[in-house]
Amino acid sequence: LRRPALSLARTYSLHSSRLLSTLAVLESSAPSYSVLSAAAKVGGPLTVLLAGSNAASAAESVAKFDGVEKVLTASSGAYDHALAENYAPLIVENVKAGGYTHVFAPASAFGKNVLPRASALLDSQQISDIIDVTSADTFVRPIYAGNVILTVKSNDPIKLITVRSSAFPEPAPGSNAAPIESAVDPNAPSSTEFVSEDLTVSERPDLGSAKKVVSGGRGLKDKENFDKIMYPLADALGAAVGASRAAVDSGFADNSLQVGQTGKVVAPDLYVAVGISGAIQHLAGMKDSKTIVAINKDADAPIFEVADAGLVADLFEAVPELTEKLKK
Ligand code: FAD
């Protein structure tokens, strides 16, 4: 891997004074448009790369966003499951062809999978999970579960960056009509093959992007209570359901619902924490929510330190009552 990577990096360092330009790599099945807001902060033209069987239809939507100069598509089934072994050469070849100075991708399972491999091939130090762009070479990212905010400057000629989507606004589609062109498709041979995936399917709003989230913790005592209390509350609010790790580990909720340092990071308009103490690892996943409501019987629970509205009450009485009132 290293030999071509080094020569590519050297090629780019010769041209490091050229103008900025960004390639945003989005997942064509579920594009995270917040990445476009982050990339726009760098300045310079913005090209979007979409790959997979449905890249062409995703491109129609992406081309409408203001600020997008061009959309590149690689309409091949080889990219459908975002295997890093296939995707990384695609990114590298398009960076090489387009001479981009920046490559942005979401800090989602997709970006965390494909971008490190592309970074290695380009011999560049990836900058992960940024929450702000200070300048074209300086970025802000949390470490230690959000307890320390780091400002990092990169001297790499090509900067590969993953973006925490919840930290940037989701732009509304504009009236742009960016040209859609074919990407350079290396059709790289791969020794990795997609076999199958086992996904949790839900009719409810997606936890990662929902505007409202209600999360339950160990205070619910068991799975039956979790289902009986949290889902009617979620339905009354039109919210996604989340859970603390203690609730997940105790089998109250599926592990795809975990919010926190080792779960999903969410920043909805409304986050309701029910029977959750507010451990630092949980706060790392939700403290940037716009309005936080906590219901806990312990007035000293740390969740109240981050809550905008708190109710010290027994959840088994308060939540069903709240649900009934919301339904009316
Ligand atoms: P508890 O801390 O047990 O709190 C339960 C709360 O319910 C209490 O505050 C109690 O007062 C309240 N309660 C009880 N009964 C009632 C009632 N009848 N009415 C109202 N309130 C009631 N945790 C996460 O959530 N997400 C993570 O991603 C995560 N990652 C971790 C990573 C590491 C490396 C480590 C070490 C820990 C991690 N944890 C994570 C675990 C975290 O430290 C806590 O243990 C966990 O968040 C506690 O969950 P909880 O608040 O539901 O349970």
Ligand 1 proximity of 294 Cβ (cutoff 6 Å): no
Ligand 1 proximity of 244 Cβ (cutoff 6 Å): yes
CA atoms within 13 A on the CB side of 165: 27
Ligand 1 proximity of 311 Cβ (cutoff 6 Å): no
> How many CB atoms sit inside 10 A of residue 200's CB?
8
pLDDT of 199 reads 78
Give φ, ψ of 194 to 5 degrees: -75, 130
Nearest to 192 by CA among 88, 327, 107, 301: 88
Ligand 1 proximity of 246 Cβ (cutoff 6 Å): yes
> How many CB atoms sit inside 10 A of residue 267's CB?
18
Longest dimension (CA), the chain: 68
Q: Whose CA is nearest to atom 31 of ligand 1?
A: 281
- How far is the centre of ligand 1, averaged over its atoms, from the C-alpha of 9 (Å)? 46
pLDDT of 18 reads 52
Pocket test for ligand 1, best of 222, 245, 300 (most atoms within 8 A of CB): 245
Class of residue 171 by CB neighbours under 10 A (exposed 0-12, middle 13-18, buried 19+) = middle
- How far is the centre of ligand 1, averaged over its atoms, from the C-alpha of 88 (Å)? 38
- Give the ligand 1 atom nearest the CA of 275: 7
pTM over 0.80: no
Q: Whose CA is nearest to atom 3 of ligand 1?
A: 218
Angle at Cα 149 formed by Cα 145 and Cα 154, nearest 5°?
Answer: 115
pLDDT of 6 reads 37
Ligand 1 proximity of 215 Cβ (cutoff 6 Å): no
- How far is the centre of ligand 1, averaged over its atoms, from the C-alpha of 110 (Å)? 28
- How far is the centre of ligand 1, averaged over its atoms, from the C-alpha of 304 (Å)? 13
Ligand 1 proximity of 70 Cβ (cutoff 6 Å): no
CA atoms within 13 A on the CB side of 94: 29
- How far is the centre of ligand 1, averaged over its atoms, from the C-alpha of 276 (Å)? 5
Q: Whose CA is nearest to atom 36 of ligand 1?
A: 281
- Give the ligand 1 atom nearest the CA of 218: 52
Mean pLDDT per 10-residue section of the chain, whose length is 328 residues: 39 50 95 95 96 96 96 95 95 97 96 97 97 97 88 97 93 94 92 86 84 97 98 96 98 96 92 97 94 98 98 98 95
Residues 166 and 132 sit within 8 Å (Cβ to Cβ) = no
- Give the ligand 1 atom nearest the CA of 247: 52
